[in-house]
Chain A
Amino acid sequence: MALLEVRDLKVYFPIRGGIFGRVVGHVRAVDGVSFAVNEGETLGLIGESGSGKSTIGKAILGLVPLAGGSIYFNGKDITRYIGKNRSSYRKGVQMIFQDVHSSLNAKKRVLDIIAEPLRNFEKNTPKEERKKVDELLAIVGMSNEDALKYPHEFSGGQRQRIGVARAIALKPRLIVADEPVSALDLSIQAQVLNYMKDVQEEFNLSYIFISHDLGVVRHMCENLTIMHNSRFVETGTREDIYGNPSHIYTRRLIASIPDVDPHKREENESRRQALNDEYERLYANYYKPDGGVYDLRSATGSGTHFVAMPTDKGEELI
């Protein structure tokens, strides 16, 4: 049984207009996506800016209202309780944010930042609390003296590690990590990713890892979904997506990653050129006339790999 299952999730944002600010339409930020996350696994959500990947993360945490769909956690339908404070779901699902400057309260000490979720859900004496915070800091490689400092005294990588410590304070089952390393330098990024992996092993955590960096996602995630125009265009295991990308959008995306081998430069460029032409030429085959994405269909008979295809053309395209 999957730890988290999301069925046909929809999030619409209202567009207001006119003198009375009436709702004149909706932006369909997420338009019917379904996925499941198993215990101890990492699911990668990949997409360009504006594709709706962060909105999915927020919807799972109850930070934006749902327009439709249902969410099952541990087999129970919790869609109605998702925004409720102090529910076991709130305790079991936590978030790591991208911007380490705005996600930590600048006026609070690290101790209070990390202890805040503990204070909401548990009753601890100050001594117990301090002990727990010190343990959490040790997990992310920081010393117990750091507990009394303020966020501005730390570098970006250290701040993100404080964010990780806060997210694991309540021993959650699932963490939604929204671009956790995008703002960090390469060497620091590696530190944070390593700590995230350690923590995952230690607590048997699941991650939903939202990112636009295909290299990081490949490193972190067993399962991937590629998002475009508010829908999934392809889902599968890491091997499915990188070894056998089937949707034209995925193929173009993967070909766009700069290669660290300078010898492949010309080869890469001509491949990108060919795929760009193909993308223009075959766009109508892969997308509905209004630009919408088709429903996912099983690709090449495998149980894990699904591609968004029209029903009538599916076979020949894959």
Chain B
Amino acid sequence: MSEPILQIKNLRTSFRLEGRYYAAVDGINLEINKNEVFAIVGESGSGKSATALSVTRLHNPNYTTIEGEVLFGGQDLISIPEKQLNGIRGKHISMIFQDPLTALNPLMRVGAQIEEPLLYHSNMNAAQKKARALELLEAVGMASPQLIYRQLPHELSGGMRQRAMIAVALACDPQLVIADEPTTALDVTIQAQILDLLRKLQKDTQASVILITHDLGVVAEMADRVAVMYAGQIVEIASVWQIFKNPRHPYTRSLLASIPSAGENSGRLNAIAGTVPTLRKMPRTGCRFARRTPWISAAAHQENPTYHEIEPGHKVLCTCYRSFRFEGVNGGDK
């Protein structure tokens, strides 16, 4: 692979809760290469969305602090002024959100919403913009672009709205698209269509994609590389082939084992005891997954977990993966 398009260095995003700041993203390092789909998986509260929103600084600065560096095209997106960042948002880096009904403007026609980024980031005249919008609507698989161009978001179905949002995101030929749970709100048949569309568009445009999802099936269908997040940290990072063939971190392995469809038998599922820690109760030292695998001795964990390379490109946090085995997995609590 060539040089990375985006480098995240030691990113720490903290939210204020009753006067104190708690890190939801706690020191992560990532490199996104050109022309790749990079998936970040994790359960709710793992910090995956917080990471994505930090890249373009979309958190409310009144109660969020972002530390670390996000390098994109030689600039650090965390420290550059807002005005300069606005030149990048929507042009070089664009976003696709989970819920298109809230992300799209309900009072603006679909065509105008696609033209909006062009208005700020290009010198096109009205006719050119319209031509581009229609071209995009066709590219995202709309049957009658002319009609959709004039419609309002509420007139479209969920899948169509998501297509419209993808068209907005692609308007300026971005180098990086961040898709935050793009298909979670959709029915399974529509989800399959949108995923197929995203994959096709990614191949056509050669853009890089950061795909945030909780669905390991979506990861397997879409991603080139995967980072698994737990409690604000990346616990395992690998290629999509490695992660499904040879998952190493206890969390990744437990997660894969708890997918109902994986086993055709109707026996018990491999539940992970306990829950994802909340922001305030998150352990800040040692292996953060340790309390959910109490049968692994404390000696197996590192006091300050570091990354261990399994294969080139496949890294795991903490040493506990060496002594992990499934046990006591029937879902108690506390």
Contact = CB atoms under 8 A, between A and B. Distances in A.
A186 B269 CA distance: 11
Contacts of A185: 43-44, 214, 276
Majority-rule SS of A interface residues = helix
Nearest to A46: B188
Contact of A214 (B261, B262, B331): B261
Interface stretch (A118-126, A171-179, A252-260, A308-316): A252-260
B222 to A, nearest CB: 8
Nearest to A161: B333
A190 B241 contact: no
Interface in B239-254: 240-241, 244, 254
B261 A190 contact: no
Most buried by A among B221, B240, B268: B221
B259 interface: yes
A102 interface: no
A188 interface: yes
A260 B43 contact: no
A49 B187 CA distance: 7
A55 to B, nearest CB: 17
A177 B259 CA distance: 19
B333 A158 contact: yes
Given A193-B269, A258-B191, A141 B221 contact: no
B139 interface: no
A243 to B, nearest CB: 10
A153 to B, nearest CB: 12
A21 to B, nearest CB: 23
Contacts of B191: 256, 258
B189 A187 contact: no
Given A186-B259, A194-B268, A197-B268, A258 B220 contact: yes
Interface stretch (A84-92, A215-223, A295-303): A215-223
B310 to A, nearest CB: 17
Bin the interface of chain B by size.
35 or more
Contacts, number: 131
B221 A258 contact: yes
Majority-rule SS of B interface residues = loop
B81 interface: no
B332 A141 contact: yes
Contacts of B276: 185, 187
A218 B263 CA distance: 9
A260 B262 contact: yes
A190 B272 contact: yes
A49 B221 CA distance: 23
Contacts of B332: 141
A256 B189 contact: yes
Given A141-B331, A272-B196, A219 B189 contact: no
19 contacts: A49-B187, A185-B43, A185-B276, A186-B255, A186-B258, A187-B258, A187-B276, A188-B275, A190-B270, A193-B260, A194-B268, A213-B188, A218-B260, A256-B188, A258-B192, A258-B221, A262-B223, A268-B221, A272-B192
Interface of A: 48-49, 141-143, 155, 157-158, 185-191, 193-195, 197, 212-216, 218-220, 222, 252-253, 255-263, 265, 268-269, 272-273, 276
